Amino acid sequence: MGLRLLFAAMLLVTLAGPPARAVEPSERLADSTLEARARALSKELRCLVCQNQSIDESNADLAHDLRVLLRQRLVAGDTDQQVLDYLTARYGVFVLLEPPFAPLTWLLWLTPPALVLGGGGLLLLRARRRRPDPTAPDLTQDESARAALLLGEPR
């Protein structure tokens, strides 16, 4: 019992802890306002290596390079939108964690709802096929006896 409680406590502390950040102290900007903007922007950008993490969370070398590039652009005086536009032009819309709804990304945005609706439609179709037809006549006694005989069921 004590070991289970200790394991549960360790698991809770691990899961409830603050998320790990990959931003290294050498990357941080001295200006706290610029650093806050950089952190906010880096949470909107996808790590192209990890693909499921932002560059703020990723330890990949490319994510480090993107964080440095982002900070260089901010120090140079770019607005947040100019930084995002620059990185999108350089790496494509895939670099954005939430790409815009545009013709280029329609497949990305519309595939999940289409799969859900298609799957729901197939399930509905299967459910309708399984339901007995209420207009179909019941079997006669002879037909029921023959069916039981064919199925090997005792009478």
What are the pLDDT digits (tens) for 93-105?
888 888 778 787 7
User: Which structural domain, as residue segments, surrounds residue 74?
Assistant: 17-103
120 inside domain: no
pLDDT band of residue 14 (cuts 50, 70, 90) is: low
Nearest partner of 43 among 25, 26, 19, 76, judged by Cα: 19
144 inside domain: no
Spatial contact of 104 and 93, defined as CB atoms under 8 Å apart:
yes
Per-residue CA distances from 18 to 11, 25, 57 (Å): 13, 18, 12
Q: What is the arithmetic mean of pLDDT over 5-20?
A: 60
Domain count, the chain: 1
55 inside domain: yes
147 inside domain: no
The mean predicted confidence, pLDDT, of the chain is: 81
Length of the chain: 155
The single-letter DSSP state of residue 101 is S
Task: State how far Cα 32 lies from the chain centre.
Answer: 31
145 inside domain: no
Residues 6+ apart with CB under 8 A from 45: 54, 55, 56, 66, 70, 84, 87, 95, 96, 97
Residue 17 has pLDDT above 80, yes or no: no
11 inside domain: no
pLDDT digit string, tens, across residues 67-93:
889 899 988 888 989 999 999 999 888
Rounded Cα gap, residues 126 and 20, in angstroms: 46
Report pLDDT for 18.
Answer: 47
**Position of tokens 């006549």?**
137
pLDDT digit string, tens, across residues 54-67:
888 888 888 888 88
97 inside domain: yes
pTM of the model: 0.56
What number of CA atoms fall less than 13 Å from residue 146's CA on the CB side?
5
22 inside domain: yes
CATH of the domain at 31: 1.10.8.640
Long-range own/partner contacts, residues 137-141 (CB < 8 A, 24 or more apart): none
Number of H helices, E strands in the chain: 6, 0
Q: What is the arithmetic mean of pLDDT over 118-122?
A: 93
